[in-house]
Amino acid sequence: MYDINPYEQSELMGRVSKTLDLDALGVNLTQISDSLLSPAGIVDQFALSILLQAILIIGYLTLGILYNWASGTITSGPLVPFIEYFEIHLSNQATAQTLVRSVLGLVWELVARSMTVFLMFGVGNTVTQVLESVTLDSVKKFLTSEVLGEIMIFRFVSYTAFAITAFALIIPAFTALGLGMEETARSLVDPESMAEYLMENIHRFLEFNNLLV
């Protein structure tokens, strides 16, 4: 596999930037490449992916434990229907499936990102640049950046709002178009299906954010 040295890497991105000149739009392609595709930048992306999945896994484990406690403790009263609703989301089976999906998604992402960087810059050059420019302190500084935290929170809130808004429009849109799919649309936005949709898209959201940070 051919290794691209740092000079060639810079030259390559310079040619791409000139070919796709988006400076007038406030878009710096070189910065995007350095952040998402460079050997050094990919380490920060790995760390971010692992952190996001760790947050999701810890959160789900915590909710699963609380659900098991509540379902075993509260067996009568007005809260029972509320607790039973979460069975399809927080039962041991549902929790295990979500956690396995998270781990698999993380592994696939890391493998895909690694292969992309290796193909672009070569294994030797990638390893060399990582060893020369990446330290534990630099990764820690990236993950604890206030700017990164604010960006991630804004994106999560926005993405959730977009998903809820989009689904809220499905039923009237189908009805207005006379597609005869109102029942299908309602099945998509009932509470259980909505919750399943949101959890599925949380994973997509995490992957999407990793491509943008």
pLDDT, tens digit, for every residue of 137-157? 989 998 998 888 898 899 889
Is the Cβ–Cβ distance between 99 and 57 less than 8 Å? Answer: yes
In this predicted structure, what is the pLDDT of residue 62? 93
Q: Which of 31, 5, 44 is nearest to 148 (CA)?
A: 44
Task: Tell me which of 61 and 200 has the higher pLDDT.
Answer: 61
Q: Interior CA angle at 40 toward 38 and 44, to 5°?
A: 105
Q: Which of 182, 200, 201 is nearest to 190 (CA)?
A: 182
Give the other-Cβ count within 10 Å of 175's Cβ.
13
Confidence grade of residue 202 (pLDDT, cut at 50, 70, 90)? low
pLDDT, averaged across the chain: 77
Task: Tell me which of 202 and 40 has the higher pLDDT.
Answer: 40
The arithmetic mean of pLDDT across residues 170-177, rounded, is: 68
In this predicted structure, what is the pLDDT of residue 182? 47
Query: Distance between CA atoms of 28 and 44, rounded to whole angstroms?
Result: 19
193: pLDDT strictly greater than 70: no
Confidence grade of residue 200 (pLDDT, cut at 50, 70, 90)? low
> To the nearest whole percent, how much of the chain has pLDDT over 90?
12
Give the CA-trace dihedral at 137, 142, 147, 153, to 10 degrees. Answer: -120
Q: φ and ψ at 75, to 5 degrees? A: -110, 0
Instruction: Return the DSSP state at 5.
Output: P
Tens-digit pLDDT profile for residues 115-125: 988 888 888 88
In this predicted structure, what is the pLDDT of residue 206? 56
Q: pTM of the prediction?
A: 0.65
Tens-digit pLDDT profile for residues 73-82: 988 888 888 8
2: pLDDT strictly greater than 50: no
The arithmetic mean of pLDDT across residues 2-10, rounded, is: 50
* 13-22, 83-92, 171-180, range with the lowest pLDDT: 13-22
The sign of the dihedral angle between the CA atoms of 29, 34, 37, 41 is negative
Type of residue at 172? P
Is the Cβ–Cβ distance between 71 and 87 less than 8 Å? Answer: yes
Confidence grade of residue 69 (pLDDT, cut at 50, 70, 90)? very high
The arithmetic mean of pLDDT across residues 59-70, rounded, is: 92
The arithmetic mean of pLDDT across residues 188-193, rounded, is: 51
Distance in Å from the first CA to the final CA of the chain = 28
Give the other-Cβ count within 10 Å of 75's Cβ.
10
Query: Distance between CA atoms of 138 and 135, rounded to whole angstroms?
Result: 5
209: pLDDT strictly greater than 80: no
